[in-house]
Amino acid sequence: MRLLLLPLFLLLLLSTGCKGSEGAADEGTDPATILEVENRNFNDMNIFVLRGGQRLRLGSVTGGGTREFVLPPYLVNSGGALRFLADPVGGTQTPVTQEMSVFPGDVVRLTIPSF
């Protein structure tokens, strides 16, 4: 079972990426940090962000759907390392990304493969 999960986990890791934004809309305020999730899986997925010992649920993405989430500013203001977890509704596999540095204004793209 672990051998089956490893390629799926690696595909999930390779599917993630970060892109900085063009700048803040208002001076003095940090721009929104966005997580774009594309769910290529049949199952609906609950999406979590992990930081240190915290696990914060961002919301759900339907099977075959796409959704954007705004990350809470307190998670990214310090430029800390974040990981993202996709928990399938009614499933047992919960792929987790590697840690990545995320800053205010970044757009993080997460693609959940079909497995």
Structural domain boundaries of the chain? Answer: 2-112
- The pLDDT value recorded for residue 30 is 75
The per-residue pLDDT for range 23-64, each reduced to its tens digit, is 444 556 779 999 999 999 999 999 999 998 889 999 999 999
Measuring CA to CA, how many Å separate 88 from each of 33, 57, 79? 24, 13, 28
* Domain 2-112 belongs in CATH node 2.60.40: yes
Q: Is the pTM of the predicted complex or chain greater than 0.85?
A: no
Tokens of 25: 């809309």
Question: What's the rounded Cα separation, in Å, for the pair 21 and 107?
Answer: 7
Question: What's the rounded Cα separation, in Å, for the pair 49 and 57?
Answer: 7
- Mean residue pLDDT of the chain comes to 82
- The pLDDT value recorded for residue 1 is 46
Long-range contacts of 2-10 (CB under 8 A, 24+ apart): 5/93, 5/95, 8/93, 8/95, 8/113, 8/115, 9/95, 9/96
21 against 79, higher pLDDT = 79
Across 85-111, average pLDDT: 92
